[in-house]
């Protein structure tokens, strides 16, 4: 129930933010008005002694979120992918969140496996290790299948994590409502929509069958990619709270010394990381949304290994074409083309001036192309581009924000492997090949064929659909109906409840 009972949770959260110094950081970052600052002080300052101390070695905001627990850590991780909401500086701070928590016991893990899979753990696994990695939602154990002797990784949700997340997310919704009520300026950032997005992501991550499906789809898409491999899903030993995958050994991509010791070509590996990501985003429209060092390893033979498929990005085919044309226009430094693509796609309102927009885009592109090759960043280009398009009335597109954030992370990984990598030289042939295949006569024939298939599928229903639409138009709109007595009483009770909440909040601020 998203009601006033959540005030206690907000008090604890506010007290923790106040104690850690994160509260002032947030208020200053958003240039919060006096009323919101007063509300924050009322909630946080008198109750500082109730706040959690947090890790003083971390920046204030990540430290506070880490202290508050798994739901807050996960919320911070997701906000780190939304610089449009929290700003680039806070987004950068949130990326340092260490997704490491104390593990739960091996006995609890075994019990969870037996409950979920319906068999004794000894019948399923001949070996089952202590936890080897513990994150905010789940932890991982190394095991060996009893039937085949194959080594596997078993991921298990934390006990009671669903209920804990439900309570915290409930409080998040209430907090978003309070922020929108007390600070109307914040509505442009859509706090309730941000919480709804977070809620959807968490719900998906709390069902490991969905992550297994994402891994399976990603593996199918990338099966032909040379030098790239994913662990295989073991569906028989997987369920909603348990996911089993094949065990793959590799060196973490952050351990450059170990790679040099076995002769891995880091320059080639850096280019492969970048080119694979671009291929997955453009060719497949389905990419790994969290490609940092911790989720990537390299095998002894140089094969790149990817893990953790909880955050995956999806881009529809039309958006991919637009994105490719924008990138290619920047590569060719044809800013009028980039501007026209934005207008044709409807990203920028038609009443804006195309030439003025093209000049603004030139101000984005030219400084970047004037840099040394080792400093050129596609992620920075996209970040500047979003700033300009926002000024020209473009609405935020969540899928492109995740793409931009992942691009920044991938570039960081690639540069750690090869500091002299030229991002544009690596990207140009991939973008050019995609455009040749997806934009032009061959692509038009493919699109026409798909259209014919759709018409063929729905052809028998078209006469009925047309008749239904025309009949509805001729009859006119339906007459409005007077609400029933019970409906009016329900709305009245809802209004009284809302009024009571506002009085309660108002009395707390006075």
DSSP secondary-structure letter at 282?
Answer: I
Separation of alpha carbons 2 and 175, rounded Å: 9
Answer for the pair 382, 407: CB distance below 8 angstroms, yes or no. yes
Answer for the pair 10, 171: CB distance below 8 angstroms, yes or no. yes
Separation of alpha carbons 469 and 40, rounded Å: 53
User: Of 269, 279, 267, which is closest to residue 300 (Cα–Cα)?
Assistant: 269
The residues with which 131 forms a beta bridge, in sequence order, are 141
User: Of 205, 184, 163, 176, which is closest to residue 13 (Cα–Cα)?
Assistant: 176
Q: Is 347 helix (H, G, I), strand (E, B) or coil?
A: coil
Separation of alpha carbons 79 and 82, rounded Å: 5
Separation of alpha carbons 137 and 132, rounded Å: 14
Catalytic residue among 290, 353, 372, 467: 290
Residue listed under structure tokens 């009284």: 496
Q: Which helix (H) or strand (E) holds 153?
A: strand 151-157
Distance of CA 389 to the CA centre of its chain: 21
CA 157-158-162 angle, to 5 degrees, is: 85
Separation of alpha carbons 374 and 200, rounded Å: 38
User: Of 180, 170, 228, which is closest to residue 202 (Cα–Cα)?
Assistant: 170
Between the alpha carbon of residue 74 and those of residues 68, 90, 174, 205, 290, the distances in Å are 11, 15, 18, 10, 13
Q: Is 138 helix (H, G, I), strand (E, B) or coil?
A: strand
Write out the two tokens for 59: 């920046």
How many other C-beta atoms are found inside a 10 Å radius of the C-beta of residue 34?
Answer: 7
Write out the two tokens for 73: 């850590």
290 noted as active-site residue: yes
Answer for the pair 386, 395: CB distance below 8 angstroms, yes or no. no
Packing angle of the helix pair 22-29, 60-68 (nearest 10 deg): 120
- Phi and psi dihedrals of 374, rounded to 5? -75, -10
Catalytic site residues?
290
């Amino acid at each position: 129930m998203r009601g006033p009972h959540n005030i206690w949770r907000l008090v604890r959260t506010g007290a923790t933010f106040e104690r850690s110094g994160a509260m002032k950081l947030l208020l200053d970052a958003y240039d919060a008005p006096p009323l919101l600052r007063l509300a924050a002080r009322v909630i946080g300052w008198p109750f500082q002694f109730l706040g959690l101390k947090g890790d003083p070695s971390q920046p204030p905001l990540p430290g506070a979120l880490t202290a508050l627990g798994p739901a807050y850590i996960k919320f911070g991780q997701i906000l780190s992918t939304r610089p449009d909401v929290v700003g680039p500086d806070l987004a950068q701070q949130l990326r340092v969140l260490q997704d490491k928590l104390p593990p739960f016991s091996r006995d609890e893990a075994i019990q969870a496996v037996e409950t979920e899979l319906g068999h004794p753990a000894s019948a399923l696994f001949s070996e089952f290790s202590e936890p080897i990695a513990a994150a905010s939602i789940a932890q991982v154990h190394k095991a060996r299948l009893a039937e085949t002797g194959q080594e596997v990784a078993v991921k298990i949700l934390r006990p009671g994590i669903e209920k804990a997340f439900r309570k915290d997310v409930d409080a998040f919704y209430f907090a978003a409502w309070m922020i929108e009520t007390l600070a109307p300026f914040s509505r442009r950032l859509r706090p309730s929509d941000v919480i709804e997005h977070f809620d959807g992501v968490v719900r998906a991550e709390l069902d490991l069958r969905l992550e297994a499906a994402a891994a399976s789809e990603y593996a199918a898409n990338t099966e032909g990619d040379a030098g790239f491999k994913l662990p295989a899903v073991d569906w028989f030993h997987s369920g909603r709270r348990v996911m089993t995958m094949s065990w793959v050994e590799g060196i973490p991509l952050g351990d450059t010394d170990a790679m040099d010791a076995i002769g891995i070509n880091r320059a080639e590996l850096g280019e492969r990381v970048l080119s694979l990501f671009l291929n997955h985003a453009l060719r497949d429209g389905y990419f790994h949304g969290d490609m940092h060092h911790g989720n990537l390893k390299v095998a002894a033979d140089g094969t790149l290994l990817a893990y953790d498929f909880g955050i995956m990005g999806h881009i529809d085919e039309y958006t991919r074409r637009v994105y490719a044309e924008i990138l290619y226009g920047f590569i060719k430094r044809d800013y009028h083309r980039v501007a026209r693509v934005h207008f044709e796609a409807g990203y920028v309102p038609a009443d804006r001036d195309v030439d003025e927009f093209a000049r603004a885009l030139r101000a984005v592109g030219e400084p970047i192309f004037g840099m040394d090759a080792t400093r050129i960043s596609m992620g920075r280009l996209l970040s500047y581009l979003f700033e300009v398009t926002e000024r020209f009335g473009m609405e935020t597109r969540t899928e492109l924000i995740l793409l931009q954030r992942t691009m920044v992370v991938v570039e960081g990984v690639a540069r750690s492997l090869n500091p002299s990598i030229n991002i544009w030289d690596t990207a140009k042939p991939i973008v050019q090949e995609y455009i040749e295949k997806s934009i032009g006569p061959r692509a038009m024939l493919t699109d026409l064929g798909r259209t014919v298939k759709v018409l063929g599928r729905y052809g028998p229903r078209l006469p009925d659909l047309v008749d239904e639409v025309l009949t509805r138009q001729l009859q006119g709109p339906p007459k409005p109906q007077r609400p029933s007595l019970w409906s009016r009483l329900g709305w009245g009770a809802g209004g009284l409840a809302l009024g009571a909440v506002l009085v309660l909040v108002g009395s707390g601020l006075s």
